[in-house]
Structure 1
Amino acid sequence: MIDDPDVSDPRIARQQDPQGVQTEAWKRTLEDMEAIAESRRDDGWEVVTIMAAHTDTVSRDMGEEDTFGLMHVVPNNYVDRFTDVYDSDEFTEYLAYGTDVNGFMFVVTELIDPPAERSILIASRYDMTRAEGMINAAEDAGVLYTHLKTIDGTIIGSFEHEEYEPLISRPNA
């Protein structure tokens, strides 16, 4: 039997959600994604929705020099939907809808191909208290990247955000 995690460790204690605050924030994030998708579809747009299985905040010292940013793990059942639509030359704009809940960012990132009226919505949650290196890299480079990868680590798409502030919140810790 596995022992309960040491909740005296503040990093582990933050992961606990006894009042359901994070669960509710995730539920609202998914509802927001669906509402945005429905609105776009009502306007005649092609929309792909993706729920990231996991999102890491990656700094330059964690990998390749240019792979810092948000690294979304895309579940296998979403990979074909994404790769059938996404082209980095055509998706040139983005919007971000999100909120900071207890140091966790709950975000819907919308990648947009305006001329073709196509949109890809990615729902994600990530821990901003572990993002200092990513934020520093973004500030140094003047950009932040969103990367999508499969469970086996294959990068299936990347997007450069020149204005990245809507995607981050400096941790208070």
Structure 2
Amino acid sequence: MSENSDVPDARTQRRRDPTGAKTEAWKQTLDDMDVIAEERRADGWDVRTLFSVHTDTVSIDMGDHDDFGLFHIVPNNQTDAFEEWFDPEEFTEYLVYGTDVEGFMYAVIEFIDSETKRSILLASRYDMTRAKGMVQSAHEEGVLYSRVKTVDGTVLGVFEHEEFTPLITKPTE
């Protein structure tokens, strides 16, 4: 431990929410997910919803592997809904609905199987100020991945985003 262990690091400082804006953005993201799900269901779609308890922006050079992208960690009680449905060969489209609040992207990613009218909606939040390496990896590789994982690191599914700009661009840009 350093002498200044009582001084919070920059990452911890960024997570703080003295104004409540981040808390409100997360609530709005979950509400948006529910509205999207209801609209899809009204149109005859079968929909599953889940949320990420934590999303990391990972670059190729961040480990002993070549995996990179958005690593969404979902609670164990939501894994069955995702595993039962997700097949990367069937879910070939996606949409992103989101907003930027203080450098954090609050997003609902909709994985779409348009042939069978099925949709998986995933609410997440990730820090775009810490995403430079991930964005660089995506540009170098020409693709970005969303990995849905459990808390213990088990990968439940991987989605390949060939068009990834909506996931790395502030909605206001």
Q: Do Structure 1 and Structure 2 share a fold, with TM-score over 0.5? A: yes
Q: Which residue of 2 aligns with 1:53?
A: 53
The one-letter amino acid of 2:125's match is R
Q: Which residue of 2 aligns with 1:145?
A: 145
Query: Partners in 2 of 1:34 and 1:28 — Cα distance?
Result: 10
Q: 1:169 to 1:5 in 2, by over 3 A?
A: farther
**Any gaps of 5 or more consecutive residues in structure 1?**
none
Q: Which residue of 2 aligns with 1:118?
A: 118
Matches within 5 A, 1:52-91: 52-63=52-63, 64-65=65-66, 67-91=67-91
Moved over 4 A (4+): none
Q: Displacement, 1:10? A: 3.3
The one-letter amino acid of 1:76's match is N
Number of positions where the alignment pairs a residue of Structure 1 with one of Structure 2: 166
Asked whether the equivalents of residues 5 and 12 of structure 1 are also in contact (C-alpha less than 8 Å), the reply is no
Q: Which residue of 1 aligns with 2:154?
A: 154
Asked whether the equivalents of residues 68 and 137 of structure 1 are also in contact (C-alpha less than 8 Å), the reply is yes
Q: Which residue of 2 aligns with 1:16?
A: 16
TM-score, scaled relative to structure 2: 0.91
Asked whether the equivalents of residues 100 and 169 of structure 1 are also in contact (C-alpha less than 8 Å), the reply is no
Query: Partners in 1 of 2:72 and 2:56 — Cα distance?
Result: 7
Q: Which residue of 2 aligns with 1:25?
A: 25
RMSD: 1.6
Query: Partners in 1 of 2:68 and 2:169 — Cα distance?
Result: 16
- Seq. identity, %: 59
Describe the SS at the equivalent of 1:125: strand
Query: Partners in 2 of 1:83 and 1:13 — Cα distance?
Result: 35
Q: Displacement, 1:169? A: 3.2
The one-letter amino acid of 1:55's match is T
